[in-house]
């Protein structure tokens, strides 16, 4: 089966409008979560991670070739990330790429409007197709909080099935009144920046971001060290639609199958970039699954303390950052963590570290009992 | 290259249920999706109390799956779910939106909010049938037989799934369209884009 490489990527988030800027901010442990005062999202201040509208407007005006078109904030963020990917990579021909768009709620704010075509997720695919003048309509994946990681797995599978040689995975979601109010109803929103895996956590923080990643079967396209997705698997808990499995079943199965595909043992993993939403049930379930898989001593972080939970973008961004951690041989502190708050041991990274890294495990879990695991590997 | 087959297929349309091309249930008297689903649930003799908590979209996907696999003695745990639709979970999204429209009278409910994701259908199907398998939910303007067949084949060829339940489960503004197919290594109809499209359009 042919290898699939992560060739390049681009992130648009509160921590910057390029992967480089995001990565620099993470290395400085700068966080995107702030007190947000925005009456369109919520009437009282809350903690979240939002993309500045003025900054986006400025970046859009610099890059957009269609200034009169009707683009939502999310669409602008997605198009911006893809445009940067293209401009940084002259050898990337988007017209020959398969495209998978990962989003959970898309332009959901539009359902309040009388003209609500944009509330339909496939409209985003049409918008991107139109903007980049593509023959094929991108595929849209909407699979709760694992969407961004599952979209990478699907991109990899499309390449391995020889449907395409190159795939662009685009992920994005907004911090909306719709989603925030839903998490309010679960009483799951933290009154301060979230603290994944920490005893003192008080729930999740939401965030917004968009990102894109270029997957290719062609090693010659890589500039620098080769990073591949060498294993992937997804499994359902078959247990509960909103509560994670108490035994971490689906996540454990996903990890085991991904390791098997990559032909690796758990002790060969150097770093885990976890889902880590900072809800007690999620963090506990992950700790159980990692212990069942023999991964309790592997250095682990959650980037939710930096970005908040960016839903359909989160696992994609975390995979992109994993690639850059491999390239730079650095581990980034799991910000917000003070004291272990799960019943099983996990090795949470408390300080940035320089360490030779070869293999990263990325995991994500979500509503509907879904889980995904990816092995991202530096090849000699 | 190994061949795969469409072993069984079913559809729920206009208050009628078809399995492998034959009408097996009809309830033209019901004038709501809720009543149609309830009648079909009773006729299948399921005794599954969780059914009553589901939103309408999940009820439709859940019932179609029960119809599709009713003759199987058991279903392999590695049977993947590859579903798609046009309206995602908008039917329930609108209900959640009504509960948050007025911040002075704000009553979002976790029992509603959890159904504002289309992949919850696959969660419900997985729980009922103990499927600890690959799930993916795609959204497109129309049923996309080429991509759904290609992606399902990729899962079967790579051993990521032993069988696949794939199809279209759409609900929007009281209009629904449900079509499911069971893909495996056995059957008479070969899995091709054309065959899947023909069966969808039957």
pTM: 0.98
Instruction: Quote the minimal CA–CA distance from B35 to chain A in Å.
Output: 24
Q: Got the DSSP string for B150-198? A: HHHHHHHHTTS-SEEEEEEEEEETTEEEEEEEEEES--SEE--HHHHHH
**Domain match, A324 and A283 both:** yes
Asked whether the predicted pLDDT for residue A68 surpasses 80, the reply is no
Residue A62 has pLDDT above 80, yes or no: yes
Query: What's the pLDDT at A126?
Result: 98
pLDDT > 80? residue A104: yes
Q: What is the pLDDT of residue A303?
A: 98
CA gyration radius for chain A? 19
pLDDT classification of A2: cutoffs 50, 70, 90: very high
Domain that holds residue B148: 5-200
User: Tell me, what's the pLDDT at A136?
Assistant: 97
Please tell me the distance in Å from A283's CA to the nearest CA on chain B.
19
Chain A touched by B145 (CB under 8 Å):
no
Task: Tell me the β-bridge partners of A140.
Answer: A101, B139
What residues of A are in contact with residue B126 (Cβ under 8 Å)?
236-238, 369
Number of domains in chain A: 2
E runs forming strands in chain A: 5-12, 34-36, 46-49, 98-102, 139-141, 166-173, 206-207, 209-216, 226-234, 271-273, 299-301, 330-331, 347-348, 353-354, 359-366, 370-379
Selected for mutation to probe chain A from B82, B90, B119 (highest A CB count within 10 Å) is B119
Q: CA dist B178 to A120, B84, B114, B123, B166, Å?
A: 18, 10, 21, 17, 11
pLDDT in tens, A141-164: 999 999 999 999 999 999 999 999
Give the tokens for residue A332.
């980034």
- The pLDDT of residue B137: 98
The closest alpha carbon to A167, from A114, A226, A99, A113, belongs to A99
Q: Which residue of B has its CA nearest to A146?
A: B136
**Predicted ipTM beyond 0.85:** yes
Tokens of residue B114, six digits: 């959890």
Tens digit of each residue's pLDDT (9 = 90 or more) over A177-218:
999 999 999 999 999 999 999 999 999 999 999 999 999 999
- Which CATH number goes with the domain that contains B95? 3.40.47.10
What band does A67 get if pLDDT is binned at 50, 70 and 90?
Answer: confident
Q: Same domain for A240 and A360?
A: yes
CATH code: domain of residue A161: 3.40.47.10
Domain count, chain B: 1
Encode pLDDT of B5-38 as tens digits. 999 999 999 999 999 999 999 999 999 999 999 9
**Does A151 lie in the same domain as A31?**
yes
Of A187, A202, A221, the position where a domain reaches its end is A221
Question: Which residues of chain B have a CB within 8 Å of the CB of A249?
Answer: 132
Q: Give the range of the structural domain holding residue A165, as residue numbers without chain letter.
A: 5-221
Q: How far is B193 from chain A (nearest CA, A)?
A: 14
What is the H or E stretch that residue B9 is in? strand B5-13
- Distance, in Å, from the CA atom of B70 to the CA atom of B108, rounded to the nearest integer, reads 37
Q: How many CB atoms lie within 10 A of CB B188?
A: 7
Among residues A191, A221, A251, which one ends one of the domains?
Answer: A221
The answer to whether residues A166 and A148 belong to one domain is yes
- Gap between the Cα atoms of B41 and B60, Å rounded: 10
Q: What tokens does A123 get?
A: 């409209």
Chain B residues whose CB is inside 8 A of the A104 CB are 117
Q: Are A128 and A82 in contact (CB under 8 A)?
A: yes
Mean pLDDT, rounded, for B139-156: 98
**In this structure, are A134 and A233 located in the same domain?**
no
Sign of the CA dihedral A287, A290, A295, A300? negative
Residue where a domain stops, chosen among A221, A254, A285: A221
Residues of A in contact with B108 (CB under 8 A): 181-182, 184-185
């Amino acid at each position: 089966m042919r290898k699939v490489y992560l060739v390049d990527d681009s992130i648009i988030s509160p921590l910057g409008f390029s992967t480089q800027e995001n990565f620099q901010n993470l290395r400085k442990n700068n966080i995107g979560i702030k007190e947000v005062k925005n009456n369109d999202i919520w009437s009282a201040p809350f903690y979240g991670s939002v993309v500045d509208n003025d900054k986006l407007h400025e970046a859009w005006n610099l890059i957009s070739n269609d200034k009169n078109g009707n683009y939502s904030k999310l669409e602008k963020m997605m198009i911006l990330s893809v445009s940067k990917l293209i401009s940084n990579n002259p050898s990337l021909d988007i017209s020959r790429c398969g495209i998978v768009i990962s989003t959970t709620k898309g332009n959901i704010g539009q359902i309040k409007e009388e003209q609500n075509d944009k509330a339909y997720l496939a409209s985003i695919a049409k918008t991107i197709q139109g903007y980049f003048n593509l023959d094929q309509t991108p595929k849209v994946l909407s699979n709760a909080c694992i969407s961004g990681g599952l979209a990478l797995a699907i991109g990899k599978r499309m390449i391995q099935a020889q449907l395409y040689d190159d795939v662009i995975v685009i992920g994005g979601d907004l911090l909306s009144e719709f989603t925030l109010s839903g998490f309010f109803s679960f009483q799951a929103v933290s009154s301060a920046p979230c603290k994944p895996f920490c005893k003192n956590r008080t729930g999740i923080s939401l965030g917004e971001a968009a990102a894109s990643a270029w997957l290719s079967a062609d090693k010659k396209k890589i500039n620098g060290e080769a990073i591949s997705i060498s294993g992937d698997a997804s499994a359902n808990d078959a247990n509960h639609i909103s509560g994670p499995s108490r035994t971490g079943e689906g996540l454990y199965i996903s990890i085991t199958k991904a390791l098997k595909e990559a032909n690796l043992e758990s002790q060969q993993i150097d770093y885990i970039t976890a889902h880590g939403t900072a809800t007690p049930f999620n963090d506990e379930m992950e700790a159980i699954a990692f212990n069942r898989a023999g991964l309790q001593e592997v250095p682990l972080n959650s980037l939710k303390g930096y970005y908040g939970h960016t839903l359909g973008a989160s696992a994609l961004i975390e995979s992109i950052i994993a690639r850059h951690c491999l390239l730079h041989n650095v581990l980034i502190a799991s910000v917000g963590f003070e004291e272990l708050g799960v019943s099983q041991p996990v090795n949470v990274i408390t300080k940035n570290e320089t360490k030779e890294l070869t293999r990263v495990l990325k995991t994500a879990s979500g509503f509907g009992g879904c889980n995904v695991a990816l092995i991202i590997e530096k090849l000699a | 290259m190994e061949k795969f087959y469409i072993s069984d297929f079913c559809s729920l349309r206009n208050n009628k249920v078809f399995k492998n091309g034959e009408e097996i249930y009809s309830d033209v008297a019901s004038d709501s999706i809720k009543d149609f689903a309830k009648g079909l649930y009773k006729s299948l003799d399921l005794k599954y109390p969780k059914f009553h908590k589901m939103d309408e979209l999940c009820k439709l996907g859940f019932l179609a799956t029960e119809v599709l696999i009713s003759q199987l003695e058991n279903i392999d745990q590695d049977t993947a779910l590859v579903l798609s639709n046009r309206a995602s979970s908008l039917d329930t999204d609108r209900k959640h939106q009504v509960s948050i429209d007025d911040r002075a009278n704000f009553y979002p409910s976790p029992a509603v909010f959890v159904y504002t994701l289309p992949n919850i259908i696959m969660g419900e199907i997985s729980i009922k049938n103990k499927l600890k398998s690959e799930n993916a939910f795609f959204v497109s303007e129309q049923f996309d037989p080429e991509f759904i067949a290609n992606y399902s084949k990729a899962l079967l060829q790579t051993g990521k799934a032993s069988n696949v339940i794939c199809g279209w489960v759409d609900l929007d503004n009281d209009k629904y369209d449900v079509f499911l197919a069971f893909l495996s290594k056995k059957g008479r109809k070969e899995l091709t884009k054309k065959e899947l499209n023909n069966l969808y359009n039957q």
